[in-house]
Amino acid sequence: MSAAADKPPQNEPPRPERRPRVFSGIQPSGTLHLGNYLGAVKNWVAMQDTHDCLYCAVDLHAITVRQQRAELRRNTIDLVNLFLASGVDPERSIVFVQSHVPAHTELMWILNTITYMGELRRMTQFKDKTAGAEGESIAVGIFDYPVLMAADILLYRADAVPVGEDQKQHVELTRDVAERFNKAFGKAFVVPEPIIRTEGARVMSLDDPAKKMSKSAGSENSYVAVMDAPDVIRRKIRRAVTDSGTEVRGGPDKPALSNLLDIYSAFSGDPLDEIVRRYEGKGYADLKADLGEVVVSALAPIQVRIRELEADTSYTLNALHVGAERAEAIAARTLAKVRERVGLVPRP
């Protein structure tokens, strides 16, 4: 499939029966790794069969932490390329960059007027990110981050929001704010449900299974990057920490093995107990060698497609152009309703 030949269409696809709508977003803030893919994007791809989906690179959230401009641009396109290369289909789903649709920040302002300092102060992510810092040096954007996220979700009247456990509190805040608005001003928003990923999808660090896999924490060996070369992938998995004992199985006393088995299962589609049975009488090294191959061959087609998208940027840029227009059309309707509810004079 050549990258240039299959352009997404310019029109909204027909929507005969109303399927539940989902919105989700990822911040473009660094090297993409297995946690991003298995924990989010892979599920996004599957949800396209059952939901109307909007998938967003949330660059305005990313700038709540200082970014280098060239890197931010690069990371944003890389993230969108991962969506597309993994099977997010811009003909079926709306794929876009948050800052391309100004309605997000506009709705955020209105939501700011009904969100309380107290509820934002209670957000555990805010507390974690600002632990030890004084108000003097905490950016307002860090504090207000959940309100932008609420605007993302509510603008599209999303029924459901697939997120990791760490974002559940933000979706609950979104629900509270939506209900508060609907009650105070009249119904304008759908109150969304969080869809929390099940344990298997939580990918932990390869050198510390107590921590989430992340590009920022720990060493290079703590994560497998989506674009890592096959030898690098094999080596990182070979060097992953293991638990005491020799038996290949999961369980609370075997956090490192549980993580490796989860990754194995997520990529191969084989149920955990079947994998465990396969390694009866075998050792950690056997599991790691096979897991290396499983990950290498699962990532290979994604890597190939990402390189194609990088070689010819027109497909991605066109998808983002169409995505922003389609997103904007939905957002504009919600925003018009919200303005009317609040009493803002319609623009003549």
Catalytic residues: 129, 212, 215
Alpha-helix residue ranges (DSSP H) falling in 124-167: 124-129, 140-155
Q: Cα dist. 7→1, 179, 257 in Å? A: 11, 40, 43
Angstrom distance (rounded) from CA 4 to CA 235: 35
Q: Which stretch binds ligand TRP (CB under 6 A): 19-27, 230-238, 266-274, 314-322?
A: 19-27
Contact residue for ligand TRP among 3, 8, 21, 25 (CB under 6 A): 25
Q: Please, what is the minimum distance in Å from the beta carbon of residue 10 to ligand TRP?
A: 26
CB of 167 to ligand TRP, least distance (A): 5
Report phi then psi at 28, rounded to 5. -85, 80
Handedness of CA 343, 344, 347, 348 (dihedral sign): positive
Lookup: tokens for 255: 């956090």
Give the interface segment with ligand TRP, choosing from 131-139, 159-167, 211-219, 307-315 (CB under 6 A): 159-167
Site string for ligand TRP, 48-77 (x = CB under 6 A): ----------x--x----------------
Contact 54, 156 (CB under 8 A): yes
Please tell me the total number of residues recorded for the chain in this structure: 348
Min dist. Cβ of residue 311 to ligand TRP (A): 29
CA distance 333 to 188: 10
Determine the residue type at 2.
S
Are 32 and 306 spatial neighbours (Cβ–Cβ below 8 Å)?
A: no
In the complex with ligand TRP, which residue's Cβ is closer, 57 or 309? 57
Binding flag, residue 24, ligand TRP (CB under 6 A): yes
Question: Which one of 161, 190, 203, 331 is in contact with ligand TRP (CB under 6 A)?
Answer: 161
Which of 59, 78, 152, 328 is in the footprint of ligand TRP by CB under 6 A? 152
Q: Which residue is nearest to ligand TRP (CB)?
A: 25
Strands 160-163 and 193-196: parallel
Q: Does 167 bind ligand TRP (CB under 6 A)?
A: yes
The Cα–Cα gap between 76 and 153 comes to: 19
Q: Is 153 in the site for ligand TRP (CB under 6 A)?
A: yes
- Which SS3 state, helix, strand or coil, does residue 95 take? strand
Distance from C-alpha of 136 to C-alpha of 128, rounded to nearest angstrom: 17
Is there binding between residue 192 and ligand TRP (CB under 6 A)? no
Q: Residue 6 or 71: which CB sits closer to ligand TRP?
A: 71
204: which 2 tokens? 């932990």
Residue 163 interacts with ligand TRP (CB under 6 A): yes or no? yes
Complex with ligand TRP: residue 151 or 294, whichever CB lies closer? 151
149 lies in the binding site for ligand TRP (CB under 6 A): yes
Contact residues for ligand TRP (CB under 6 A)? 23-25, 27, 58, 61, 149, 152-153, 161, 163, 167
